[in-house]
Structure 1
Amino acid sequence: MISYFRDYADLCFEAFGDRVKHWVTFSDPRAHAQAWHSYNSTWRGKQQGLVGISLNCDWGEPVDISSPKDIEAAERYLQFCLGWFANPIYAGDYPQVMKDRIGKKSAEQGLDMSRLPVFSLQEKSYIKGTSDFLGLGHYTTRYITERNYPSRQGPSYQNDRDLVELVDPNWPDLGSKWLYSVPWGFRRLLHFAQTQYGNPPIYVTENGASQKLHCTQLCDEWRIQYLKGYINEMLKEPLLSHMQMVTEIVVPTVCTLCVLISAVLLLLLLRGQS
């Protein structure tokens, strides 16, 4: 299927590339790398476009921010969600916590090898760096804690994570059982992606609220509030980049200038005294 998708992507690049300059290979990850390489080697020079992928992830907040186990569980939640597909693209391999956890679970189940596939060195090199931007889908947040009881499930994605997802009953309910309005989680996810993957360009490709009530007239105030809250949190995130720039570039530069100016003034003072 990977080669078939590459052929389909090439057809799209050829037919629409003179007008389309931003391509998202998948909203659900599959044969991404070959499509990126095909565009990079054949079409980028003449079309000057960008190719990325869209990955969906909710934010995972530790139930107890002072508990190392809850903090680890929340990190695991994010790595099993966003890191599962983003890490190979940005770092060349699955997150270490996935390899460790699934390898251990596989051994406990009597398997000779991990249920998580292993990338060859050639595959790691081929996949790493295949993204001009990160498309990020996000809707809601969960509180995460370590699971301290045995799972009744057999081998599964849920069982491999060993964590429990909780919601705050005070979060606004938007109708769908899984969807709660938690705008601050969006900002934290954006910051996580920014710092985890080397500050890539990020496009928000999915966000919104489902229908809450059936009505014949305009009655979507809850959706207005949802979008307003999430957009405001998204607008706050670039401030972190500017603050980081101030911390890493401006502050050291100013300090250096202050030292140089002080040295010059000291030399002038010494010359004046002599």
Structure 2
Amino acid sequence: MMNLTIFGTGACLLQRSKMLVPLVLLTLCVITQANGNASVKKFPENFLLGAATSAYQIEGGWNADGKGESVWDYYLHKQPDIVKDFTNGDIAADSYHLYERDVEILKELGAKAYRFSISWTRILPDGTTNFINPHGIAYYSRLIDLLLADNILPLVTLYHWDLPIAFSNNGGWLNETTGDRFGEYARIVFNVFGDKVKHWITVNEPSIHCSFMYEYGIHPPLKKSPGVGFYECGRNLLLAHAKAYHIYDVEFRKNQGGKVGLSLDAEWPIAASDSLDDLEAVKDYLAFSVGQYMDPIFKGDYPERLVNRIAAASRRQGCTSSRLQPFTDKQKAYINGTADFVGINHYFSLYVYRNESVRGYETPSFLGDTELGTFQDPSWPQSAFTRMREYAPGLYCLLMYLKDTYHNPAVYITENGFPMTPAEDLNDDKKAHYLRAYLKAVLDAKADGSNCQGYFFWSLVDGLEWASGLQKYKFGLYQVDYNDPSRKRTARKSALVYKEIIHSGTIDFSYNPDPYGDKCFKNT
């Protein structure tokens, strides 16, 4: 065994093992159980165990009570084939009308917190401050009040991908002024709800958002700009996040006493061998994923290896300058330090490698800049989504990496989940096992010093999974019957398992509840 310091701790080791390919030494990130059996560890009383959703994915009521159009409303009506099953978010789980039931579900679970997002166009129908919709404010006020009445902490996301259509038509996140409008929206939301909401997330998953919009063009506005738009979008989202942070810091923090962060998608990369190329590929993967956003906030600028790799690829492709526009000194100072906590959305791990097959891209692209390939171990338990396989040690190693690389920031796991197929019904045993395994990894990380302060399972109820639609992937702790106009919610086995974990503060892998026989849940 050899220690690899880039993994951030001696507890994450490289273990030589023959897997997948004969005679190839692959690596596993494993947990050193230096602190005993995790099954007897307990979550601290102040650790937030909850669930997460987002507005467009579950609310419905797409034009109810004066709500304006988001890019998803507009494009899915105009081009319904964007979504594989031709569904959309017009009704979804109908949480706009069934929010009381959703809060009741959280209470049934015993959840301590609920992460949800506010729809920008439900508050500002055209995205600007020209008109503030009182019905939108009333809806979120009722939701927040119900949560607080049941001692459920609201963790509120300002932007979860539902950009007002007017801004998309003006360049969207390729236009830096969109961040100015975002700041104006944030100010109104802080002002209206900040006396009750103390945890704010500015932006959800900027990397995936920018990638699907501009690298691959599969999410609205369906614009492909490989290796260019992806970085510009990310840059502008960082500036928008910083703007919202400073608005809160200067205008609201003293009186409201809340915290502001952002949520980043983060897989854990494992070197496919102990070759120098593969070990460097791991470092590059981390630089291009969490580093692209966390380094400017916690270290003052983009990671050096990210800057150098994009510059080198740009020169090779005949560009006169790097495709990654640098921050000015003023912008660096503006972004630096703008997170009271970091939200991490983690679903899976993967192996990374670098060889001649992934070198020398002749046209700009994100993959060409990274010059690395990925794959997964087929023995890892498979979800309904091909790339989402269970490998819980990856979450432990990620938390250790964040601890050691960024001076142990406060972290919330703001998304972690395992999609099942509709055919798997209520007995979602694989999801229940995934939930327990990843929570065990969180306990292990906390025992080894991680400043992880909460965990939010994705998701509370089944929702629209963006371009995959309503029917293919079922992430919910609660099943939603989309063939029933009343959108009946029914607890799955994973919900009962999570309830027991929240109640006991411990993880019991032998607990085997019957979702068809439990009478404590109001399945309506």
Would the TM-score normalized by the shorter structure come out above 0.5? yes
Q: Aligned residue for 2:7?
A: none
Does the alignment pair 1:240 with 2:448?
yes
- The one of 397, 415, 435 aligned to 1:188: 397
Q: Aligned residue for 1:48?
A: 257
Q: Aligned residue for 2:334?
A: 126
Q: Aligned residue for 2:292?
A: 84
Q: TM-score, normalised by structure 2?
A: 0.45
Deviations 1:93-112 (A, max 9, x none): 11111100000011111111
Between the aligned partners of 1:41 and 1:196, the Cα distance in structure 2 is 28
Query: Offset of 1:44 from its aligned partner?
Result: 0.1
Between the aligned partners of 2:426 and 2:447, the Cα distance in structure 1 is 35
176 and 60 in structure 1: CA distance in 2 versus 1, 3 angstrom threshold: same
Q: Aligned residue for 1:250?
A: none
Between the aligned partners of 1:67 and 1:198, the Cα distance in structure 2 is 29
Between the aligned partners of 1:184 and 1:72, the Cα distance in structure 2 is 21
SS in 2 for 1:76: helix
- The one of 363, 369, 372 aligned to 1:154: 363
Between the aligned partners of 1:35 and 1:152, the Cα distance in structure 2 is 37
- The one of 152, 168, 171 aligned to 2:380: 171
Between the aligned partners of 1:151 and 1:171, the Cα distance in structure 2 is 31
Deviations 1:65-91 (A, max 9, x none): x32221110111111011111111111
Between the aligned partners of 2:332 and 2:284, the Cα distance in structure 1 is 22
- The one of 13, 19, 22 aligned to 2:190: 13
Contact in 2 for aligned 1:79/1:98 (Cα 8 Å): yes
Contact in 1 for aligned 2:277/2:355 (Cα 8 Å): no
Query: Offset of 1:146 from its aligned partner?
Result: 1.1
Task: Tell me which amino acid in the other structure corresponds to 1:100.
Answer: N
Q: Aligned residue for 2:310?
A: 102
Larger Rg: 1
Contact in 1 for aligned 2:317/2:362 (Cα 8 Å): no
Does the alignment pair 1:199 with 2:408?
yes
SS in 1 for 2:204: coil
- The one of 224, 235, 249 aligned to 2:432: 224
Q: TM-score, normalised by structure 1?
A: 0.85
SS in 1 for 2:423: coil
Q: Aligned residue for 1:23?
A: 200
The correspondence of residues 107-118 of structure 1 with structure 2, limited to 5 A, is 107-118=315-326
Contact in 2 for aligned 1:175/1:213 (Cα 8 Å): no
Query: Gaps spanning 5+ residues in structure 2: where?
Result: 1-177, 207-236, 451-524
SS in 2 for 1:182: coil
Query: Gaps spanning 5+ residues in structure 1: where?
Result: 243-274
Moved more, 39-48 or 86-95: 86-95
Query: Offset of 1:197 from its aligned partner?
Result: 1.1
SS in 1 for 2:449: helix
C-alpha root-mean-square deviation of aligned residues, in Å? 1.3
SS in 2 for 1:158: helix
Q: Which has the higher helix share?
A: 1
